[in-house]
Amino acid sequence: MAATIVWFRQDLRLQDNPALAAAITNGGPVLPIYILDGAGAGDWPPGGASQWWLHHSLATLDATLRERGSRLLLAKGESGAVLRALVKEAGARAIYWNRRYEPAVMGRDQDLKAGLVAAGVEAKSFNASLLFEPHTVQNKSGGPFQVFTPFWRHCLALPVDAPVKLPAGELPAPAKWPASLALEKLALLPRSKWDTGLAAAWTPGEAAAMKRLKKFIARAMADYSEKRNRPDIDGTSALSPHLHFGEIGPRQIWAAVAAVSQASGVFPAHRGAQVFLSEVGWREFAYHLLYHFPATPAAPLRREFAAFPWQENPQHLRAWQKGLTGYPIVDAGMRQLWATGWMHNRVRMIVASFLVKHLRLAWQAGAAWFWDTLVDADLANNTLGWQWSAGCGADAAPYFRIFNPLLQGAKFDANGDYVRRWVPELARMPVQFIHQPWAAPPDVLAGAGVALGGNYPHPIVDHGEARAAALAALQTIRVARS
């Protein structure tokens, strides 16, 4: 029987993979392939941290496939050309893949599907990455939602499909495998050794994703609503990179939470489970917005913000990137990001607010830095988060809501444990000064080994002055609209 090609992309798993399951149902050999396309997601090729994760995720996927009598083919180049060549070489009759929703990728996929069908090749795509595909969710007017609460309320009334189960046993393989690149030829790993922190913090792959989910549900989900804002403790699922690369799917998460809820007869079982699923809902909302407003990765959804008087200050941007702003909670977050490729969500909001409001640097600059340094860099989520922080997106925090880094630190890192871990210069500071070392008396600073302007910087801006300047800048676009 003719072979079916399964084109892996951001669905690097075997379970709940409808494209793979459908290919097996065809009955012939299955040829799994991953193609590193230089175009990436339009103008957003994967950043350095994402490339690191991708390398290890591909290695893990190949090992898992080999356990089932198969393997992962690797290629580099324009996806359409690679797939057409593989069809010819393998005599394949069909290509199956799971859908993506980045604007440039959707356009490419539509063109590719039309060309394959015209050439007599069966081309099918499936949903593996969302609970509710964007084109299936509409408000009462038949348009897209732009506020999360009614969006999620609408979604909760819809049925959620069960995860797709992969048949047991070996996967059907060809008698002769086509040629494949070695993983190292994709050149995804950094040449320098900046990735040691990533390797210490993460284990990419499908098995690790399921292990993390089970651990979270067993140990942390019940307290999630209370502890999710605490960066000093392990209170979140940290599943975001696994979700981005498709090592786990949202249907699997939904099913796991539902299984816990069966004992109580109530779904979700408790407040923690409800809030956790709502975070999955925010991911759905991000894709809903990206699908319906494809220009938002680069342009504000609220058009008046196109005229916002952003500043250009390379020194301030660099200080923010390096975690040298003089505000401990901000610096801790930025250093955690650089070291591990991840940052706690509460701290992401704090550092983003600081960039766009205290420094008045354009949110696009922050989005670009996150894109390069996050292992979970996801175009939909990254865009939603930054436009929310800048006050220029759907359901965004109003621009005049300006986080005070001192108060945020005191509230969510009360003992300073998070700051002490990531800003070791301040490790010996007393609790009352850990989030405001500039307020400490000279003898306290000396006793803690802190030299402001020496081993730790003075604040690069004054909070009060920066807040006033941000509000004045906001007023300029309000006046322009009136």
The pLDDT value recorded for residue 234 is 93
Q: Which residues are catalytic?
A: 279, 282, 310, 345, 363, 386
Rounded CA separation 230/142 (Å): 39
Mean pLDDT of 383-406: 91
- If asked whether residues 281 and 362 sit together in one domain, one would say no
- If asked whether residues 149 and 108 sit together in one domain, one would say no
The pLDDT value recorded for residue 262 is 77
What is the DSSP-derived secondary structure letter of residue 357?
Answer: I
- If asked whether residues 319 and 245 sit together in one domain, one would say no
What are the backbone angles phi and psi of residue 124, rounded to the nearest 5°? -130, 145
* Chain segment 7-51, per-residue pLDDT in tens: 999 999 999 999 999 999 999 999 999 999 976 555 688 999 999
pLDDT at residue 482 is higher than 60? no
CATH code for position 344? 1.10.579.10
What token pair was written down for 122?
A: 């069966």
The pLDDT value recorded for residue 219 is 92
User: Domain limits at 40?
Assistant: 4-128
Rounded CA separation 467/399 (Å): 11
Tell me if 444 is assigned to some domain: yes
What token pair was written down for 454?
A: 């020496």
User: Do residues 302 and 308 touch, judged by C-beta distance below 8 A?
Assistant: no
Amino acid at 81: A
- If asked whether residues 256 and 345 sit together in one domain, one would say no
DSSP reduced 3-state for 136: helix
pLDDT at residue 481 is higher than 70? no
- If asked whether residues 74 and 145 sit together in one domain, one would say no
Rounded CA separation 25/96 (Å): 12
Degrees to nearest 5, angle at CA 236 with 232 and 241: 115
Question: Across 112-201, where does the E strand assignment appear?
Answer: 122-126
Tell me if 459 is assigned to some domain: yes
Tell me if 367 is assigned to some domain: yes
Tell me if 326 is assigned to some domain: yes
Amino acid at 267: F
Q: Domain ends where: 263, 292, 321?
A: 292
- If asked whether residues 251 and 312 sit together in one domain, one would say no
Rounded CA separation 265/239 (Å): 26
Q: How confident is the model at residue 480 (pLDDT cuts 50, 70, 90)?
A: low
Tell me if 168 is assigned to some domain: no
- Given its phi and psi angles, is residue 120 left (phi above 0), alpha (psi -120 to 50 degrees) or beta? left
User: Do residues 310 and 469 touch, judged by C-beta distance below 8 A?
Assistant: no
The pLDDT value recorded for residue 395 is 81
DSSP reduced 3-state for 73: strand
Percent of the chain with pLDDT over 90: 92
CATH code for position 228? 1.25.40.80
- If asked whether residues 113 and 71 sit together in one domain, one would say yes
- If asked whether residues 154 and 242 sit together in one domain, one would say yes
Amino acid at 459: P
pLDDT at residue 232 is higher than 70? yes
Mean pLDDT of 165-190: 96
User: Do residues 89 and 178 touch, judged by C-beta distance below 8 A?
Assistant: yes
List beta partners, residue 76: 36
What are the backbone angles phi and psi of residue 70, rounded to the nearest 5°? -125, -165
pLDDT at residue 1 is higher than 80? yes
Rounded CA separation 152/129 (Å): 17
Lowest mean pLDDT: which of 67-71, 98-102, 258-262, 324-328? 258-262
- If asked whether residues 59 and 153 sit together in one domain, one would say no
Mean pLDDT of 250-273: 87
pLDDT at residue 436 is higher than 90? yes
**Count of beta carbons in the 10 Å neighbourhood of residue 124:** 16
Q: Is the peptide bond before 268 cis (omega within 30 degrees of 0)?
A: yes
Rounded CA separation 388/357 (Å): 12
What is the DSSP-derived secondary structure letter of residue 355?
Answer: I
Tell me if 114 is assigned to some domain: yes
Tell me if 227 is assigned to some domain: yes
Rounded CA separation 409/431 (Å): 11
- If asked whether residues 313 and 433 sit together in one domain, one would say yes
Tell me if 169 is assigned to some domain: no
Q: What is the side-by-side strand order in the sheet with 122-126?
A: 73-76, 30-36, 4-8, 94-98, 122-126
Degrees to nearest 5, angle at CA 49 with 47 and 52: 110
H-state helical runs in 293-412: 314-322, 328-340, 345-353, 363-373, 379-390, 405-412
* Chain segment 294-350, per-residue pLDDT in tens: 999 999 999 999 999 999 999 999 999 999 999 999 999 999 999 999 999 999 999
Q: Domain ends where: 248, 270, 292?
A: 292
What token pair was written down for 109?
A: 């996929």
How would you class 255 by CB atoms within 10 Å of its CB: exposed for 0-12, middle for 13-18, buried for 19 or more?
middle
- If asked whether residues 312 and 212 sit together in one domain, one would say no
What is the DSSP-derived secondary structure letter of residue 177?
Answer: P
* Chain segment 112-161, per-residue pLDDT in tens: 999 999 999 999 999 999 999 999 999 999 999 999 999 999 999 999 99
Q: Domain ends where: 75, 110, 128?
A: 128
pTM for the full model? 0.96
CATH code for position 73? 3.40.50.620
User: Do residues 263 and 269 touch, judged by C-beta distance below 8 A?
Assistant: yes
Q: What mean pLDDT is reported for the chain?
A: 95
- DSSP3 helix / strand / coil % (the chain, rounded to 5): 50, 5, 40
Amino acid at 462: D
- If asked whether residues 134 and 123 sit together in one domain, one would say no
Rounded CA separation 4/31 (Å): 6
Number of domains comprising the chain: 3
Mean pLDDT of 421-435: 98
Q: How confident is the model at residue 56 (pLDDT cuts 50, 70, 90)?
A: very high
